[in-house]
Amino acid sequence: MLFRLKNFINWVLPYQCLLCGKEAEENAIFCSNCFSKISFIEQPICSICGRMFEFTVNDIEETCNQCSDGTRFFDMARSLLHYDELSRQLIMKIKRHSDHITACTCVKMLHTRYSDILERCDLVVPVPSHWTRLLRRSYNPANIIAIELTKISGKKYKNVLKRSKKTEYQRAKSIIERINNVLDAFSCKFDLNGKSVVLVDDVMTTGATLNECAKVLKHAGAKKVICITIACTRALCFNFG
Ligand SMILES: [Zn+2]
Ligand SMILES: [Zn+2]
């Protein structure tokens, strides 16, 4: 519906870049200047969390130092964009303004890139917001992305997780503080009985929130948990061990 509306607007007005608002080429989502600056996730990446390494690696099974200690509950995480100023702008449009056209655009790109992963899953599950945050913002960006992803993939959406503890914002916290902040913050409302789950959020930084959610999903019986986010930060360090 929103895409049709955008097509109609573009029939009347020139195509506009989602990022800068300047005129874009026909059927283009971004102007050539913005598109050249978008940083898509590319190899080499950590084989578990999917974050980009700063330098080349010899083994595609290589993991970053955060994934090498065996404390990851998710089986794999994959993202579309490197988290930088441009991807932050896109995510803020979804987060602060509930911008569905931006959400649909990002989800379309995510689906194109990771259709094989989505094909093998049973459920698409969003990382939940605490109800007090929903009162203030009225929507959960992870939920918008998860719903759009189910529409485009035909997979089943299920809001199985509940955020039972109100957590502080993760931004200024260290990795250890982030892990403790989200510890026991989630619960699962259903028995997942061997299902493969795609867990959706907007951004992955340290992965502490996604990991805690994955832990709860696995305890509820999920066979596999794969995290999908629009953007993620770079791998902090290569695993030399
Ligand atoms: Zn632009
Ligand atoms: Zn990793």
Write out pLDDT tens, residues 59-113.
Answer: 777 888 888 887 899 999 999 999 999 999 999 888 877 788 888 899 999 999 9
Rounded Cα gap, residues 198 and 110, in angstroms: 12
Instruction: Pick the ligand that lies closest to the CA of residue 17.
Output: 1
Compute the distance from residue 218 Cα to the ligand 1 centre, in Å: 41
Kindly state whether residue 50 falls inside one of the protein's structural domains.
yes
Q: In sequence order, which residues have a C-beta less than 8 Å from that of residue 185 and are 6 or more positions away?
A: 163, 164, 165, 167, 212
Instruction: Pick the ligand that lies closest to the CA of residue 20.
Output: 1
Compute the distance from residue 23 Cα to the ligand 1 centre, in Å: 8
Instruction: Pick the ligand that lies closest to the CA of residue 207.
Output: 2
Rounded Cα gap, residues 200 and 42, in angstroms: 20
Compute the distance from residue 220 Cα to the ligand 2 centre, in Å: 24
Residue 116 structural domain? 39-232
> Residue with structure tokens 């994934």?
67
Q: Quote the number of domains for the chain.
A: 1
C-alpha 231: how far from its chain's center? 6
Q: Pull the structure tokens for residue 156.
A: 């089943």
Q: Residue 232 above 80 pLDDT?
A: yes
| Amino acid 163: pLDDT | 87
Q: Are 225 and 49 spatial neighbours (Cβ–Cβ below 8 Å)?
A: no
Average pLDDT, the chain: 85
Total-model pTM: 0.86
Instruction: Pick the ligand that lies closest to the CA of residue 86.
Output: 1
Angle between helix 85-97 and helix 100-119 axes, rounded to 10 deg = 110
| Amino acid 71: pLDDT | 84
Q: DSSP class of residue 51?
A: P
Kindly state whether residue 11 falls inside one of the protein's structural domains.
no
Q: Which amino acid is at 215?
A: K
Kindly state whether residue 3 falls inside one of the protein's structural domains.
no
Compute the distance from residue 196 Cα to the ligand 1 centre, in Å: 38
| CATH number for the domain that contains residue 71 | 3.40.50
Kindly state whether residue 22 falls inside one of the protein's structural domains.
no
pLDDT band at residue 180 using 50, 70 and 90 as cut-offs: confident
Compute the distance from residue 176 Cα to the ligand 2 centre, in Å: 16
